[in-house]
Structure 1
Amino acid sequence: MDLTIQGSTVRHGISLRTLIRKSAELSGPCLLITGDNQGAIFGGLLECPLKPTAKRKYQGTNQSFVFTTLYGEPRLFRPTGVNRYFYLCLNDLLALGGGGSFALCLDGELLTGSSGACETFGNLCLAHDEEFELKNVELWGFTHASRYLT
């Protein structure tokens, strides 16, 4: 299994709409990776392509998770089973988790975000502060190498 980058604010500009458009090139799970200006790296696993909804309708499956490097080593938070609030995708917001706070919420310009404890993943704050400036946002897709492809 290989990872390929589909969207990056460094390579493709700062816009959630661009990230959503680039995600259309993926057909399976993708890893959203971002970080704050103080050095924490965090994100989560989503299904792709990302599909914005007109109303706040959660998407995803219990295969989703969030992670952070804030606590000294990578720490993964899997669904607790309390709810099915895996992720929201709107044209101006991408949020993972729910119940209490979002585990991770990114604004439409991919400049700022927030993180807090949420019931979906039973996580702690993923960043140094609950409100933060984003350092970079990347969306990595999983590709499967096959011996049948030439």
Structure 2
Amino acid sequence: MGVAYSVGEVDHLYTFFVEWSPDIYNKGNKKRCKSCYLKRKKDPNSHHVTDKDMTAGNKCLSKPVSDSKTLKNWEIITVKESKRRLSFCSSVESEAEENEYEERDEDFPVLSDQSQLLNEYQLQKLAAHMPARTQGYPWNLVYSTSIHGSSLKTLYRNMAGLDSPVLLVIKDMHKQVFGAFSSDPFRVSKYCYGTGETFLFSFNPDFQQYRWSGENSYFVSGNWESLQIGGGGGGFALWLDADLYHGASFSCPTFHNAPLSTHEDFIVQDVEVWTVQN
């Protein structure tokens, strides 16, 4: 940023620089006589150039070229120009901040209700890692233990007739938040269902995502007694009982995941299920 000087100060500085470097600042102008500077010296309110200043100026000019280049970086501008540049810099910074805010806003999902389990950081992380076909669509809350009570049957009933992916969010008694994105809504079925879009996630406290490994297709299965996600290795990646009270999480071949909770067997505090649809 440049340095602003008044008109009077610019005149004094110009006089000083002419004496320093007459070959640079006096090009195309008539050479000033010594009496010009002596007249200025008589004025007590004016800046004057002394023999010491001239000696110092000559010393500066005799320094290496690198120092001369440094001197060339200085620029004398008017107060008006200084204000114009400051105004321009402020407008550029404001525009950059606005663009950054808009980018963050684009990644943030629109929710039909306020989530009791996910904060803004967690919502933004999940939205950014969900399949492309879900991007830009609002999230609708289809089940919550705080609203509908703790019942797997109610969870299934609230998703009857639904044909869109769902996001299961769990908070256990150790305040850990984790869950799963399912390409299909949860239902009772004799066989496993779902696609490779299904994934697991946890915030412990950093975001971790576990995608399909391709080793098997045991994505989701459900009956009236429990809901299971992932399997094939003697344990489920995520398991919930009929009362949505007891849960378990183990490593399994479907996702090659670590246990989602800090405890393989955990007590559920709250559950939310969101659907992402047009």
Same fold (TM over 0.5): yes
* Correspondence for 2:181 among 30, 45, 66: 45
* Correspondence for 1:60 among 167, 170, 194: 194
Taking the aligned partners of 2:237 and 2:223, their CA distance within structure 1 comes to: 16
What is the letter of the counterpart of residue 84 of structure 1? S
Q: Given the two structures, how large is their TM-score scaled by the length of structure 1? A: 0.89
Max Rg structure: 2
What is the letter of the counterpart of residue 113 of structure 1? G
- 1:24 matched to 2:157: no
In structure 2, the residue matched to 1:91 is: 224
Which deviates further from its counterpart, 40-49 or 101-110?
A: 40-49
The answer to which structure has the higher strand fraction is 1
Paired residue total: 141
Q: Given the two structures, how large is their TM-score scaled by the length of structure 2? A: 0.49
Identity of aligned residues (%): 36
- 1:3 matched to 2:136: no
What is the letter of the counterpart of residue 150 of structure 2? I
What is the letter of the counterpart of residue 211 of structure 2? R
User: Contact 1:117–1:125 (CA<8 Å) still a contact in 2?
Assistant: yes
> What pairs up with 1:122-141 in 2 under 5 angstroms?
122-141=256-275
User: Contact 1:23–1:48 (CA<8 Å) still a contact in 2?
Assistant: no
Q: How far off its partner does 1:40 sit?
A: 1.0
* Correspondence for 1:117 among 242, 248, 251: 251
* Correspondence for 1:82 among 200, 211, 215: 215
Q: Mind listing any 5+ residue stretches in structure 1 that lack a counterpart?
A: 145-150
SS at match of 1:116: coil
The answer to which structure has the higher helix fraction is 2
What is the letter of the counterpart of residue 74 of structure 1? F
Q: How far off its partner does 1:25 sit?
A: 5.3
SS at match of 1:132: strand
Q: Any idea what the Cα deviations from partners look like across 1:65-98, whole Å, max 9, x if unmatched?
A: 011112x311110000000010111111101100
